Amino acid sequence: MLDELRSLRSLVFPPACLGCGDSGAIICVHCQKLFATAPTRSQVDHLPLLISAKYQERTAGIVLAAKEAGSATAKAALASALLGPLEQLLSSGTAEKVALLPMPSRASANRRRGYDHSAKLAQAARDLIAPRWPSVQFDVVPIFRHNRRVRDQTGLTPKERGENLHQAFSLDPGQFLRLAGQDLLLLDDVVTTGATVREGVRALKLANLEPLAVIAACASPRYFPLR
- 156-165 average pLDDT score: 88
Would you state the pLDDT for residue 4? 44
pLDDT over 70, % of the chain = 93
Would you state the pLDDT for residue 81? 95
Domain spans, the chain? 39-223
In this model, does residue 117 exceed pLDDT 90? Answer: yes
In this model, does residue 41 exceed pLDDT 50? Answer: yes
CATH topology of domain 39-223: Rossmann fold (3.40.50)
Q: Which tops the pLDDT comparison, 50 or 164?
A: 50
Would you state the pLDDT for residue 35? 86
Would you state the pLDDT for residue 31? 93
The string of DSSP letters for the chain reads -HHHHHHHHHHHSPPBPTTT--BTSSS-HHHHHHTSSPPEEEEETTEEEEEEEE-SHHHHHHHHHHHTS--HHHHHHHHHHTHHHHHHHHHTS--SEEEEEEPPPPHHHHHHHTS-HHHHHHHHHHHHHGGG-TTSEEEE---EEESS-----TT--HHHHHHHHTT-EEE-HHHHGGGTT-EEEEEEEEESSSHHHHHHHHHHHHTT----EEEEEEE-GGGSS--
In this model, does residue 182 exceed pLDDT 80? Answer: yes
pTM: 0.89
- 137-152 average pLDDT score: 93
